[in-house]
Amino acid sequence: MACAKACFAAGVFAVALMASANTSAQKVEYNYLLHCGGCHIEDGSGLPPHVPDLRVEMPYFASFTEGRAYIARVPGVVQAPLNTEELTDVLNLLLSRFAPEGLNLQPYSVEEVAQYQQEVLVDPKKLRDQLMAHRPAVSDNTVNIDLDN
């Protein structure tokens, strides 16, 4: 009998936790669709070369500091009407979805995103080209990503 009450309470607690996890995951997904999906498309495929396909190079950029800063500072991210926590959740959703298995990318912390966003990215395309040009050297030092896969 003692258990009946306690176990019931534990069950209610677990269900409440699941419900809130579910709701916040849906909210992150919703934020992506609403604030990013118009350009990057629901599945991240975008409209290359104008709007990059997030499934392709984003995991590479996320594997080193300058690339992580670039991602967090592109105009579409900085100008989204989302707070830093919401932006962090959207970026981490994309990383978890698009990083190749075994890459073990570090998720963004709210502090990291806040720090990058203190500087405005003046010329995203130029910086992107520079980061891509350095790609082999950088990826040797950090992780190897085979883009052809």
Give residues in contact with ligand HEC (CB under 6 A).
35-36, 38-40, 50-52, 54, 57-58, 71, 74-77, 80, 90-91, 124-125, 128
Q: How far is the CB of 134 from ligand HEC (least distance, A)?
A: 14
Extract the tokens encoding 26.
Answer: 């849906």
Q: Residue 97 burial by CB count (10 A; 0-12/13-18/19+): exposed, middle or buried?
A: middle
CB 28 within 8 A of CB 72: no
CA–CA separation, 72 and 65 (whole Å):
11
Rank residues 17 and 34 by Cβ distance to ligand HEC and give the closer one.
34
Q: How far is the CB of 64 from ligand HEC (least distance, A)?
A: 14
Rank residues 17 and 42 by Cβ distance to ligand HEC and give the closer one.
42
Q: How far is the CB of 50 from ligand HEC (least distance, A)?
A: 6
How many residues are listed for the chain in this entry? 149
